[in-house]
Structure formats: C-alpha cells, structure tokens
C-alpha cells in the first residue's frame, strides 16, 4: 500500500523521528532531540577514530622495533639506523596528516546544518546496505527504512552530513504526494 503525503510512522520508526521532529525539519532546523543525537554520534565516531589511531600506532611502533632489530642483526648498526630514520619519517608524516585531518574536520564539532533533498526515489538493494537515490543524493539506509520507502514515489528527505566520516544520514523524511 503506498504511503500517504506527510508523516509516515514506518519511516519515522526506521529513522527514529516523530511528528515533532518533522515539524522542526520542515521549518529548516534540527529538533533538540536530533541535535543531541548528532552530537552523540559525532562523539562516538571521534572515540572510535582515536581507538583505531592508537591501535595503528601500537602496531606501527611494534613493526618498527622489529624492523630495526632485524636490520641490526642482518646488516649491523648502520642499516638499523637507516631503517629507524625511514620509519621515523613515515611516522611523522602520518602524525602530521592526522593532525591536519583533525583540524579540518573535527575541531568545530558536528555539522548541525539541516540539508534537504526532494524528488522521486529510486530504491535499490546493495551488497552491504540498501540504497536510496533521490535528487542526485545517495543514502544507505537500514532495511526497515528501505521497506518503508516506495520506489518511484516523491519524497523529501531531511539529512545531516558527517564531516570526517563523509556520509549523509537522513534524520526524517516525508512523502510529498
């Protein structure tokens, strides 16, 4: 059965919004609940990124130590010093790149701007996650959201963009006709 225009409880349940949130979005703003959710998501992504960075750093340091020891055993102190110098430069480049990336993407916190796209939806199953294309924008959505949207139907989707994850997350949607 096709969705009617306006708020659809199935889409609301899938994306985690209610009529109140949709009303905020229709006025061009995120609701207080949505702001809190975006901030929490941003903090969680930052924490995951830090943990991943620490793990990669530990593996890099361990590999560097093993490489220096192996170079010392095979070619003596001069070769070990050369390996240490190369690994130090690689590590320094990685640290500088990470700081630049942090400065450009995370220092200001999450992007709390609300973006809007509307148009005819094209719902396509994908290998990893169902995909919805609308107005030139692609969203990867949960199966419950995918099931609630109807291919070929005209929708308006309100979404936020995550700067350092480089993806778009719908916060609400409504059928327009």
pLDDT tens digits for range 95-152: 898 888 777 766 677 878 999 999 999 988 877 778 899 999 999 888 888 888 989 9
pLDDT of 149-175, one tens digit each? 989 999 999 999 876 666 888 999 998
Domain boundaries, the chain: 9-30+112-175, 36-105
Does domain 9-30+112-175 sit in CATH 2.60.40? no
- The whole-model pTM stands at 0.74
Q: Cα angle at 124 between 121 and 125, to 5 degrees?
A: 150
């Amino acid at each position: 059965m096709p969705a009617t225009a306006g708020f659809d409880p199935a889409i609301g349940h899938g994306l985690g919004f209610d009529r109140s949130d949709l009303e905020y979005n229709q006025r061009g703003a995120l609701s207080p609940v949505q702001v809190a959710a975006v901030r929490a998501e941003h903090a969680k992504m930052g924490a995951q990124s830090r943990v991943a960075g620490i793990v990669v750093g530990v593996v890099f340091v361990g590999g560097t130590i093993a490489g220096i020891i192996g170079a010392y055993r095979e070619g003596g102190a001069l070769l070990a010093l050369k390996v240490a110098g190369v690994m130090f430069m690689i590590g320094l480049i990685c640290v500088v790149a990470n700081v630049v990336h942090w400065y450009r993407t995370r220092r200001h916190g999450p992007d709390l701007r609300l973006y809007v796209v509307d148009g005819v939806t094209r719902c396509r199953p994908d290998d990893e996650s169902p995909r919805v294309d609308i107005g030139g924008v692609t969203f990867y959505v949960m199966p419950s959201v995918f099931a609630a949207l109807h291919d070929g139907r005209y929708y308006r989707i309100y979404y936020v963009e995550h700067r350092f994850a480089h993806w778009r997350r719908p916060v609400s949607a409504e059928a327009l006709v």
